[in-house]
């Protein structure tokens, strides 16, 4: 989870200067965008109702966390903060975590808040904490006063402290470290052959009942792509000052645009902005004249018909600000059975051929293990050739199989001369033999042990957090679609 990514240790004066220039993304200029002033129930956590005001406060807390974690990488900082869907989800997740921390009575002292702020590299200059830099950054990048910022820092520390207590149960043994090292660095020579699914072609065709049944149970596979017709206005800027000027201009006419969205083109021209209309698009199409941005595509497809988006700015100091309006939409629809029948036939036929290949591979696997047939003879029985691959590792690519990562653990477990259980590939089913294990250099293990420990610890903590959310997190129920806030 993003909430607990460790801070970068690298920091320099030039990084600070770059941050002061670049960490002013679109949300700083236009705030919550479509946020309503009416009391809106966002969801319920435990017995607590979360209204829009509380959600927006948590959104600010998530922004604080991103700033303190990614202060040394302005591009990542901007990309995260301009991803509205991600930020909304982080804000909700933060509320759930905060509720759990409060239930456990996890508290943070003033000294802990003070220590984090005064010792953070972002707020230091000349070897120590600089109050002017501190005030400047939180005002310019987050538009907060110190009291707001420090209260959000306290809440974030409370969440971190809560998880730190839970993480005490996450341990790593030397055997786990060794297994990870060997899995990442051992090599192997292998032999393998394919039981091709094409050898089973020519069998009975699926019945009409089978086709209809599959179609009825898998409607999602036979939907047309949703299409939208957009109009948008665009204002370019070359530097930070230009962005601020564009923001000032948009802030001047944006309330009028929201009140009269049908005058979209006229308002764009009156204010000297570029106006374009796209025609019908799917999510696979490129919006003409718009630099690709996932945030723009997400916004375009979740807008209500006739609605106007909040301004969306490119990341960095040179880019464009876009405002979108959805003119028309053609929702995704189910392709009629008669039109989809050929595709259904292909899917079912391919599935049956794959199942037959797997069944045959399992029979041959058992016969080879029992000594009834040799590895080479088994390959010949399905008119296949034995192939070999030398010195492969977890990151290797194996011809006719694909990336080795999915099967490499079984390759190592099989040991010299051992077989791995058959596994599926796009062309059929594979039977693989480990001819030789090439052990990794153990001297290198000693040198990389600390880095491996951190890597494995991070992975286990992430897994632990995901399990906690599934099984132990406070009961939470959303009343709004976070993707549309």
Contacts of 325 (CB under 8 A, 6+ apart): 230, 231, 232, 261, 264, 303, 306, 307, 308, 309
pLDDT of residue 129: 93
Query: pLDDT higher for 17 or 416?
Result: 416
Is the pLDDT at 188 greater than 90? The verdict is yes
Question: Domains in the chain, ordered, with CATH?
Answer: 2-169+459-484 (1.10.4030), 187-220+337-438 (3.10.50), 227-330 (3.10.50.40)
* pLDDT digit string, tens, across residues 135-169: 998 988 788 999 999 999 999 999 999 989 989 98
C-beta separation of 176 from 453 below 8 A = no
- Comparing 126 with 276, the larger pLDDT belongs to 276
Task: Please report the pLDDT score of residue 317 as a whole number.
Answer: 62
State pLDDT tens for residues 29-51: 444 444 444 578 999 999 999 99
Contact 93, 31 (CB under 8 A): no
Least confident of 10-24, 68-82, 255-269, 455-469: 10-24
Q: What is the three-state SS of the chain?
A: CHHHCCCCCCCCHHHHHHHHHHCCCHHHHHCCCCCCCCCCEEEEECCEEEEHHHHHHHHHHHHHHHHHHHCCCHHHHHHHHCCHHHHHHHHHHHHHHHHHHHHCCCCCCHHHHHHHHHHCHHHEECCEECHHHHHHHHHHHHCCCHHHHHHHHHHHHHHHHHHHHHHHHCCCCHHHHHHHHHHHHCEEEEEEEEEEHHHHCCCCCCCHHHHHHHHHHCHHHHECCCEEEEEEEEEEECCHHHHHHHHHHHHHHHHHHHHCHHHHHHHHHHCCCEEEEEEEECCCCCCCCCCCCHHHHHHHHHCCCCCECCCEECCCCCEEEEEEEEEEEECCCECCHHHHHHHHHHHHHHHHHHHHHHHHHHHHHHHHHHCCCCHHHHHHHCCCCCEEEEEECCCCEECCCEECHHHHHHHHHHCCCCEEEEEEECCEEEEEEEEEEECCCHHHHHHHHHHHHHHHHHHHHHHHHHHHHHHCCCCEEECCCHHHC
82-121 pLDDT, tens per residue?
Answer: 788 889 999 999 999 999 999 999 899 999 999 999 999 9
Share of the chain above pLDDT 90, in %: 57
Mean pLDDT, residues 316-342 = 89
Q: Which of 439, 443, 461 is nearest to 172 (CA)?
A: 461
Could you count the other beta carbons within 10 Å of the beta carbon of residue 99? 19
Average pLDDT, the chain: 86
Is residue 365 pLDDT above 70, yes or no? yes
* Predicted model pTM: 0.60
The residue ranking higher by pLDDT, 389 or 331, is: 389
Specify the pLDDT at position 111: 95
Rounded distance between C-alpha atoms, residue 332 and residue 323, angstroms: 24
The predicted structure's pLDDT at residue 38: 59
pLDDT of the residue at 480: 87
**Two tokens at 33?**
């965008």
pLDDT for 127 beyond 90: no
Residue 202 is predicted with a pLDDT of 85
Strands 128-129 and 402-403: unpaired
Q: What is the pLDDT of residues 46-93, one digit of tens each?
A: 999 999 999 999 999 999 999 999 888 877 887 788 788 889 999 999
pLDDT at 134 over 50: yes
Residue 225's pLDDT is 87
Two structure tokens written together for 97 = 């975590």
Whether residue 54 contacts residue 155, with contact meaning beta carbons closer than 8 Å, is answered with no
Residue-level pLDDT at 13: 31
Between 446 and 484, whose confidence is greater? 446
Q: Are 277 and 287 in contact (CB under 8 A)?
A: no
Res 22: pLDDT: 33
Least confident of 20-24, 163-167, 238-242, 302-306: 20-24
**Band of the pLDDT at 250, cuts 50, 70, 90?**
very high
Q: Comparing C-alpha atoms, which of 117, 125, 109, 108 is closest to residue 64?
A: 117
pLDDT higher than threshold 50 for residue 368: yes
What per-residue confidence (pLDDT) applies to 289?
Answer: 74
pLDDT in tens, 377-387: 999 999 999 99
């Amino acid at each position: 989870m993003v909430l607990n990514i460790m801070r970068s240790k690298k920091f320099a004066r030039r990084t600070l200067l770059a941050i002061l220039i670049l960490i002013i993304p679109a949300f700083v200029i236009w705030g919550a965008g479509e946020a309503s002033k009416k009391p809106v129930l966002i969801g319920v956590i435990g017995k607590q109702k979360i209204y829009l005001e509380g959600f927006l406060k948590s959104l600010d807390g998530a922004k604080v966390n991103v700033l303190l974690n990614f202060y040394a990488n302005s591009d990542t900082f901007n990309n995260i903060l301009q991803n509205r869907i991600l930020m909304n989800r982080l804000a909700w997740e933060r509320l759930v975590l905060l509720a759990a921390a409060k239930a456990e009575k996890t508290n943070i002292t003033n000294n802990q808040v003070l220590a984090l702020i005064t010792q953070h590299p972002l707020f230091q200059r000349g070897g120590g904490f600089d109050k002017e830099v501190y005030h400047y950054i939180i005002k310019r990048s987050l538009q907060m006063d110190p009291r707001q910022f420090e209260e959000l820092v306290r809440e974030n520390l409370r969440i971190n402290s809560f998880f730190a207590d839970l993480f005490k149960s996450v341990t790593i043994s030397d055997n786990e470290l060794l297994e990870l090292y060997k899995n990442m660095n051992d090599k192997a020579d292998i032999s393998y052959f394919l039981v091709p699914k094409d050898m089973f072609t020519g069998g009975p065709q699926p019945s009409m009942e089978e086709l209809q049944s599959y179609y009825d149970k898998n409607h999602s596979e036979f939907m047309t792509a949703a299409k939208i017709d957009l109009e948008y206005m665009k204002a370019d800027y070359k530097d930070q000052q230009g962005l601020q000027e564009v923001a000032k201009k948009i802030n001047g006419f944006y309330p009028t645009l929201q009140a009269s969205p049908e005058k979209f083109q006229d308002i764009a021209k009156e204010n000297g902005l570029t106006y374009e209309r796209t025609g019908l698009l799917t999510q696979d199409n490129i919006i003409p004249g718009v630099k690709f941005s996932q945030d723009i595509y997400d916004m375009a497809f979740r807008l209500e018909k006739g609605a106007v988006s909040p301004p969306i700015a490119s990341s960095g100091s040179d880019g464009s600000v876009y405002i979108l309006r959805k003119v028309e939409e053609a929702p995704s629809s189910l392709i009629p059975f008669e039109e989809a029948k050929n595709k259904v036939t292909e899917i079912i036929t391919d599935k049956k051929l794959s199942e037959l290949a797997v069944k045959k591979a399992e029979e041959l696997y058992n016969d080879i293990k029992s000594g009834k047939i040799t590895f080479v003879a088994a390959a010949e029985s399905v008119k296949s050739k034995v192939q070999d691959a030398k010195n492969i590792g977890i990151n290797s690519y194996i011809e006719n199989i694909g990336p080795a990562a999915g099967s490499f653990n079984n390759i190592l477990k099989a040991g010299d001369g051992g077989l791995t259980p058959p596994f599926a590939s796009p062309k059929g089913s594979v039977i693989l033999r480990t001819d030789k294990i090439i052990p990794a250099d153990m001297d290198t293990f000693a040198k990389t042990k600390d880095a491996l420990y951190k890597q494995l610890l991070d992975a286990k903590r992430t897994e632990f957090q995901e399990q906690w959310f599934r099984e132990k997190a406070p009961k939470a129920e959303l009343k709004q679609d976070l993707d549309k806030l």
